[in-house]
Chains A and B, each alone.
Chain A
Amino acid sequence: MMSCREVSELVSRSLDEKLPLIVRLKVRVHLLMCRMCATFARRVRQLREQLSSGRIAPESVLDASLPAATRERLKQLLKNRPA
């Protein structure tokens, strides 16, 4: 019987590679019986979906912007570019 700690590792690994069939089955059985692990599995997959789909594009929600001094310096740099 695998522990939740081991199952969480396998759930995580399954996001990066296909697990052997027998391991997949063991994990699935555990997830059917263990609410905590099932939730963890759902959460990490959700996180992957949300980040990879670009639905949460951090570039568009972050407030940070180029400091004014750098902005000016870069503009000068591009203006004085070699022809």
Chain B
Amino acid sequence: MGGAKPDKEGVPDPDVWVDRYGDQLYRYALIRLRDPSLAEEVVQDTFLSALKAIDQFQGRGDFGAWLMGICKRRVIDVLRARSRTTHIEADEDSTDPAERLFDRTGKWRVDPGQWLTTPDREVERAEFWRMLDKCLQKLPPRHAALFTLRELDGLSTEELCNEFGITRSNLWVILHRARLALADCLRNYLYG
């Protein structure tokens, strides 16, 4: 116990962790889990794990990044557990966006072109993310999770297959469906 002490070996006093890192960790988890109470749980777990493992940090690098690494690990654990318990069939049954986007001969039914200008300014990036976020919400949760971990967090296909216990071809189908559905959704948001 005691008041805020000066940072020791690059570790800020735990009394300031919530104010300094809480929101960022929460958003990180929320974007990937899409469930506020689960995201709160992950933040709590992250802080408690960090307390326990504080000796392993020992001032190496950025403390915030270290916390984020713990948080990322937790998020993957939750997603993995969830994908084990939810019915995979429910995902696979979800309509293939290709049915909507291509005609019977496999030609584009709609122009995939009209979406996604390069958002350069801060405000455009924020707007773009909000649209992408809305579009991700329309995907089956497992598809959204795998897409996000692949594209946003840069997990390799091997890592994803191992973590989620799926085959490569299974993963490709899911990622492709996600990309098609997002292409379609973004087009509608921008020009709908």
Report yes or no: A5 in contact with B118, Cβ–Cβ below 8 A.
no
Tell me, in angstroms, the Cα distance from A16 to B154 when the chains sit together: 11
A70 to B111, CA, bound (A): 46
Point out the residues of chain B lying under 8 angstroms from A70, CB to CB.
Answer: 40, 43-44
Q: Which of B14, B18, B125 contacts A71 (CB 8 A)?
A: B18
Q: Which residues of B contact A25 (CB under 8 A)?
A: none
Chain B residues near A50 (CB, 8 Å)? 118-119, 128
Tell me which of B30, B31, B106 contacts A4 (CB under 8 A). Answer: B106
> Does B14 lie within 8 Å of A62, measured CB to CB?
no
CB-nearest residue of chain B relative to A7?
B106
A29 in the interface, Cβ–Cβ < 8 Å? Answer: no
A20 interface residue, CB < 8 Å from B? no
A12 and B112 contact, CB distance less than 8 A: no
Size of chain B's interface in residues, with CB distance under 8 A? 53
| Cβ-defined contact, B1 with A64, below 8 A | no
Q: How many A-B residue pairs have CB under 8 A?
A: 137
Query: Residue of B at shortest CB range from A70?
Result: B40
Question: Does any Cβ of A come within 8 Å of B105's Cβ?
Answer: yes
Is A62 a contact partner of B133 (Cβ separation < 8 A)? yes
Chain B binding surface SS class: helix
- A36 near B113 with CB under 8 A, answer yes
Residues of A within 8 A of B150 (CB): 16
> What size tier do the contact residues of chain A reach?
35 or more
Contact of A5 among B15, B30, B98 (CB under 8 A): B98
Q: Provide the bound-state CA to CA distance between A61 and B30, in Å.
A: 13
> Are the CB atoms of A8 and B180 closer together than 8 Å?
yes
Question: What are 24 sample pairs from A and B whose C-beta atoms fall under 8 A apart?
Answer: A4-B106, A5-B98, A12-B176, A16-B171, A36-B112, A56-B119, A56-B129, A58-B31, A59-B24, A62-B30, A62-B129, A64-B23, A64-B30, A65-B22, A66-B43, A67-B40, A70-B40, A70-B44, A71-B18, A75-B18, A78-B14, A78-B17, A79-B1, A81-B14
Interface of B toward A, CB cutoff 8 Å: 1, 14-15, 17-18, 22-24, 26-28, 30-31, 36, 40, 43-44, 47-48, 51, 98, 102, 105-108, 111-113, 115-116, 118-119, 125-126, 128-130, 132-133, 150-152, 154, 157, 171-172, 175-176, 179-180, 182-183
The 3 A-B pairs at the shortest CB distance, nearest first, are namely: A3-B106, A5-B106, A61-B126
